[in-house]
């Protein structure tokens, strides 16, 4: 893959993606199918993360109690652990990209069915976290 291809791939417009989803979705067009497909791909994403640790071993999960005993939110944020040691190997990353992509497909399908623009949802969320900053407490 050359540099131009990467640039073109990264310039995909979210609204165009949502329109393309609407154009190709045939078999699972019912809201019932879409919702259950979203559940399925949430599980598949979680399974892919777990298999990266338990089957591949490129990442390890070392969970411990989070330390909230700090002076400020900034200090708490900077000391929170994600509990992952290591990095995804290219193979596990490819699997996760595929599962996340399928999830986004069905999320876009859900939005299409309910006449919601995914880009509006992202923009609303962006405004909220931008306004509240660290106080959004997510």
> Does 56 contact Zn ion by CB under 5 A?
yes
Q: Which stretch binds Zn ion (CB under 5 A): 23-31, 65-73, 89-97, 130-138?
A: 89-97
> Does 58 contact Zn ion by CB under 5 A?
yes
Pick between residue 57 and residue 132 the one whose CB is nearest to Zn ion: 57
Radius of gyration of the chain (CA): 19
Question: Could you tell me how many residues of this chain bind Zn ion (CB under 5 A)?
Answer: 5
Whose CA is closest to 102, among 41, 53, 57? 41
Q: Least distance (Å) from Zn ion to the CB of residue 48? A: 10
Q: Least distance (Å) from Zn ion to the CB of residue 62? A: 17
Given candidates 21, 25, 92, 109, which one binds Zn ion under the rule CB under 5 A? 92
Three-state DSSP class for residue 138: coil
Q: Least distance (Å) from Zn ion to the CB of residue 82? A: 17
Whose CA is closest to 95, among 50, 48, 51, 59? 48
State the alpha helices, DSSP H only, in 80-117: 90-113
**C-alpha count within 13 angstroms, C-beta hemisphere, residue 82:** 6
Binding residues for Zn ion (CB under 5 A): 52, 56, 58, 89, 92
């Amino acid at each position: 893959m050359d540099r131009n291809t990467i640039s073109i791939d990264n310039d995909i417009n979210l609204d165009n993606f949502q329109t393309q989803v609407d154009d190709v979705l045939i078999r699972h067009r019912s809201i019932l199918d879409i919702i259950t497909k979203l559940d399925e791909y949430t599980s598949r994403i979680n399974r892919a993360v777990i298999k990266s640790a338990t089957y591949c071993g490129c990442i390890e999960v070392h969970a411990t109690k989070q330390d909230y005993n700090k002076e400020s939110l900034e200090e708490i944020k900077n000391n929170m652990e994600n509990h992952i040691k290591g990095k995804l190997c290219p193979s596990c990353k490819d699997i996760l990209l595929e599962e996340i992509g399928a999830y986004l497909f069905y999320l876009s399908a859900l939005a299409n069915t309910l006449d919601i623009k995914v880009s509006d949802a992202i923009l609303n969320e962006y405004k909220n976290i931008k306004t509240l900053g660290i106080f959004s407490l997510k």
